[in-house]
Amino acid sequence: MNPVRVGVIGLGTVGGGTVNVLRRNAGEIARRAGRSIVITKASARDFRRDRICDTKDIELTTDPFAIVSDPDIDIVVELIGGESPAEELVVQAIKQGKHVVTANKALIALHGNEIFSLASRQGVMVAFEAAVAGGIPIIKAIREGLSGNHLEWLAGIINGTGNFILTEMREKGRDFAEVLSEAQDLGYAEVDPTFDVEGIDAAHKLTILASIAFGIPLQFDKVYKEGISRITRSDVAYAEELGYRIKHLGVARRTSKGIELRVHPTLIPERRLIANVNGVMNAIVVKGDAVGPTLYYGAGAGAEPTASAVVADIIDVARTLTSDPENRVPHLAFQADALSDIPVLPMDEVETSYYLRLSAEDRPGVLADIARILANHNISIEALIQKEPLEGESHLPVIMLTHRVFEREMNNAVTEMEKLPTVNGLIKRIRMEALR
């Protein structure tokens, strides 16, 4: 059988890793796919840069559109990231009848609904395993391995850079900016690193996971997004004292009223396996009604871990090139005409427990005022620590854990507490999840 001909757009970290993995494992890959897979053409912006891969026997170009319009290419692999020109390239490739493999989470989260609909009309596949959690085959696990389940919730550490930063802060007391710069040097961080630290990257990935888990359209704009940039070393230390770790989580939960869709720093009991996922590693817990909780763990970023997912998609596409388009696994796990219009809930209607840290005056009655406000809003305190004031200071740190409460109630209680003359400045709050 003729080899499958692949064109790669982008020879950076992931593109370079993909070339290397396809070359190194060519024999085994051909045995799995049933035919050999060769990269015939690749594009990069600039060929003067040092590359991590050997481009021998690959026709090189600086024009990515030359790849999508090449009649000899069967599969276009888009690895440049970002919305433009990735969207134009992918749309053109599909219109030319080519299958697409992409690692581009922004593209899928923001434009996936239109891209999949176009791909279905053209009878081609768009595979995107590498878009979520690097090397972990989480798309395949949810879309196929768990397809017999009614999925209840999923929660994941899905940004390697953020997890790397939080881990270094906790274990080594390192400075936020210094660790972020290391993550950039290692090729983990996004071109715009605010995407990593402000929760945008995790929200792209959560959008995709929620869609395939619950059979809903991709709805990035409805995700609540909060990053790790305001987490301090003292929050990390107080959480630890109370038996918790702070992780940046993406949470998607089905409730009777709708779907919760949110990314934010979260306290997790330290005995949970996912609380012990460190460095650039990612992990996702998926809870199904039949299987119970399942945990998927692995490298969430980096050249070869991400290439592992890209190459698996290329093999998948190669295997199904001849199969009837109607009988392929649907892009978003559920048949396109069977997606649900269940609403995504506003944050006000989300229920979680909380970690609160405030700075209060050191005199009688102060804690009583705070407790009264919480009681008026039906918020019950689970744990409380009060620290000694620092030398020469009249205020002391008070840290509280609460039971579950609707976000709306907590917002109102925090506003009232912040108005107390005995409370100094803003109250820090971090949501908590028991993940039972």
Q: Using CB under 6 A as the criterion, which residues of the chain lie in contact with ligand HSE when the complex forms?
A: 134, 159-161, 188-190, 196, 201, 300-301
- C-alpha 280/C-alpha 261 separation (Å) is 23
Which residue, 187 or 389, has its beta carbon nearer to ligand HSE? 187
- C-alpha 202/C-alpha 151 separation (Å) is 20
Locate 223 and state its tokens.
Answer: 């995700």
Backbone phi, psi, residue 277, to 5°? -90, 115
Listed residue (132, 135, 88, 140) closest to 106, CA to CA: 132
Strands 423-432 and 351-361: antiparallel
End-to-end CA distance of the chain: 50
Q: Is 205 a catalytic residue?
A: yes
- Least distance between ligand HSE and beta carbon 64 (Å): 20
Say whether 385 sits in a helix, a strand or coil.
Answer: strand
- Least distance between ligand HSE and beta carbon 188 (Å): 5
- Residue 380 gets which letter from DSSP? P
Q: Per-residue DSSP letters for 198-255?
A: TTHHHHHHHHHHHHHHHT----GGGSEE--STT--HHHHHHHHHTTEEEEEEEEEEE-
Which residue, 139 or 398, has its beta carbon nearer to ligand HSE? 139
Which residue, 64 or 298, has its beta carbon nearer to ligand HSE? 298
Amino acid at position 277, single letter = V
How many other C-beta atoms can be found within 10 angstroms of the C-beta atom of residue 91?
Answer: 17
Which residue, 188 or 355, has its beta carbon nearer to ligand HSE? 188
Which residue, 80 or 301, has its beta carbon nearer to ligand HSE? 301
- Least distance between ligand HSE and beta carbon 256 (Å): 33
- C-alpha 60/C-alpha 66 separation (Å) is 10
- C-alpha 340/C-alpha 319 separation (Å) is 30
Query: Long-range pairs for 63-66 at CB < 8 Å and ≥24 separation?
Result: 64/9, 64/10, 64/89, 65/89, 65/92, 66/41
Q: Kindly name the residue from 41, 140, 205, 225 that is annotated as catalytic.
A: 205
- Least distance between ligand HSE and beta carbon 212 (Å): 17
Chain center to CA of 4: 31
- Least distance between ligand HSE and beta carbon 190 (Å): 5
Which residue, 156 or 288, has its beta carbon nearer to ligand HSE? 156
- Least distance between ligand HSE and beta carbon 82 (Å): 12
Does 269 sit behind a cis peptide bond, omega within 30 degrees of 0 on the bond before it? no
- Least distance between ligand HSE and beta carbon 13 (Å): 9
Burial class of 1 by CB neighbour count within 10 A (0 to 12, 13 to 18, 19+): exposed
Say whether 356 sits in a helix, a strand or coil.
Answer: strand
Please answer whether residues 218 and 114 qualify as being in contact, where contact means their C-beta atoms are separated by less than 8 angstroms. no
Which residue, 126 or 373, has its beta carbon nearer to ligand HSE? 126
Q: List residues with catalytic annotation.
A: 205
